[in-house]
Amino acid sequence: MDVFTHGLTPGTGPDVLAFAVAYGLAQVSRVAEDYILATFPSVVATPAFLELPARVLIHLLRSDGLNVLHELEALEAASRWLTANGDGQEDVAKEVLSSVRFALMSTWELKKVPSVTAGVADPRVVRELIVASLAPMAQLPCRVRSLQEVVVVCGGEKLTSNLAARKPSRHLWFAHRYLSAVGLVKKVEWRALGDFPDGPRFRHAIAVVGNVLYILGGKHYYGVHDTLASVYRYQPMDDSWERLASMSCGRSYFPAAALGDFIYALGGSSGELYCTDTVERYDLANDTWRRCQPLPMALCGHAACALDGALYVSGGCDEASQCQASLLRYVPGAAAKLLAPMNGPRAGHIMEEAGGQLYVAGGLCQRAGMTGYRDQLAFEVYSPKADVWVLLSPLPRAHVVGGAAVVGGELLVLGGYSHETYQDTHLIHAYQPGARRWITRGTLPHAYTELQACVLTVPPALRGPSCLEDPSRSPETPNST
């Protein structure tokens, strides 16, 4: 089972799923199916997709977890498969195409249906399917992306409704559903998960270990001395908070990362110190903190990620407020090692691991030959084996001090602000590695900055009916769409 499910790719996923279905390997089938649904645009482009059995393809197309940007993508996938496998079988073509939810298509998508289905189905059959799907609209199930794991947004700060002041947040929200409907762009339905037990918090750090969320440091408000050392543990399955041992000093604008049986807090701002090089680690078993060897330089606004038994630390600002392009490999008990630098300096950015590589996006950097900072839109990926950075498609919009998470094979970048316009953003941009593209997934409950995001499994009771299933209902938060 490990051999089949480890290291799935868009090219191998369909073969593994077909094999598991044929031989009744239920667990392998679930893993492969979840992978294909999450990375569907990339899977469709592979030759293996064309070899899927008809009943497996129909099951995938009918799944609420199908990850497509527009419903037209589902139709294009069905037509590609029928072109290779239909052989004039009208019954097969009708059953496959009936799995597409035409009623969720916008006007521009519906206009493309005839050209997409040309040669794979009788135009009269296609028209019948469209008419049938449009009536009655009220009974049509919404295409949603509803994975078992959800994105959770923790704290941050936002502008008040009258734009007169900034207000830190104490709320935790989770992305209940990713929705699409006729004539609408992608929407996210957010639901409340909980509240920090000690008030609002921003510029904090988080770590997740075994579906348990750890909240470290940050600030309640904006004073120089209002830097927190407190640490809390949150259990989402029973909505419980526990106060843990505090760090040795207050920290803000810093990252934390879990490695083995420890959580590491690295550098950051500490009271009147703009940035520090100190590192300490939390012992999960004994609820204690202990100092470790420091970073080679004092940093704040840097990012950190665990991969293959080591911590990787990228960018950040030094004591002279200069943005760095450095990448450090930090192994507890050994000297930190400088690796290949990024293609440009940045601070206030995100770094996430996906597929054994490190993706870095957002933040800000110095203006070339000028004073001050500008938005850093460059997006790049690091390969630890080759020690090489590769530039990818740039971010569509600035995300300084935003949040990030990897879910369903996508890198999500959430919130933050633009340093050049000083405008907060509530947008969520998602990068799909297989398709090598950025898409807009929707928006946050509010335009947050200085937030954190992670992926958790939440209790099924919190994931009740969608607000789109009852048009009279509205989500709990004012700007949830």
Residue range 367-381, pLDDT digits in tens? 887 778 999 999 999
Q: What is the C-alpha separation between 280 and 290, in angstroms, rounded?
A: 5
* Per-residue model confidence (pLDDT) at position 147: 61
The CATH 2.120.10.80 domain(s) of the chain lie at 144-469
Give whole-number Cα distances, 210 to 28, 202, 454, 456, in Å. 22, 23, 12, 9
Q: Tokens in use for 26? A: 């239920």
Residue 116 makes CB contacts below 8 A (sequence gap 6+) with 72, 75, 76, 79
Question: Which position has the higher pLDDT, 256 or 159?
Answer: 256
Give whole-number Cα distances, 246 to 45, 112, 228, 231, 233, in Å. 50, 59, 9, 6, 12
- Whether 394 and 437 have beta carbons less than 8 Å apart is answered as no
pLDDT band for 480, please (50, 70, 90 cuts).
Answer: very low
Tokens 């340093």 belong to residue: 419
pLDDT band for 478, please (50, 70, 90 cuts).
Answer: very low
Q: What is the C-alpha separation between 202 and 219, in angstroms, rounded?
A: 5
Hey, CA dihedral for 450, 456, 462, 465, is it positive or negative? Answer: positive
pLDDT band for 106, please (50, 70, 90 cuts).
Answer: confident
pLDDT at residue 21 greater than cutoff 50: yes
Mean pLDDT, residues 79-88 taken together: 87
- CATH code of domain 10-139: 1.25.40
pTM of the model: 0.76
Q: What is the C-alpha separation between 379 and 374, in angstroms, rounded?
A: 15
pLDDT at residue 467 greater than cutoff 70: no
Q: Which of 383, 391, 387 is nearest to 356 (CA)?
A: 383
- CATH code of domain 144-469: 2.120.10.80
Beta bridge partners of 437: 432
Q: What is the C-alpha separation between 157 and 452, in angstroms, rounded?
A: 11
Query: Can you give the length of the chain in residues?
Result: 481
- 378-405 pLDDT per residue, tens: 999 999 999 999 999 999 999 999 999 9
pLDDT at residue 140 greater than cutoff 50: no
- Whether 396 and 413 have beta carbons less than 8 Å apart is answered as no
Q: Does 197 sit behind a cis peptide bond, omega within 30 degrees of 0 on the bond before it? A: no
The CATH 1.25.40 domain(s) of the chain lie at 10-139
pLDDT at residue 476 greater than cutoff 70: no
Q: Which of 39, 91, 45 is nearest to 60 (CA)?
A: 39
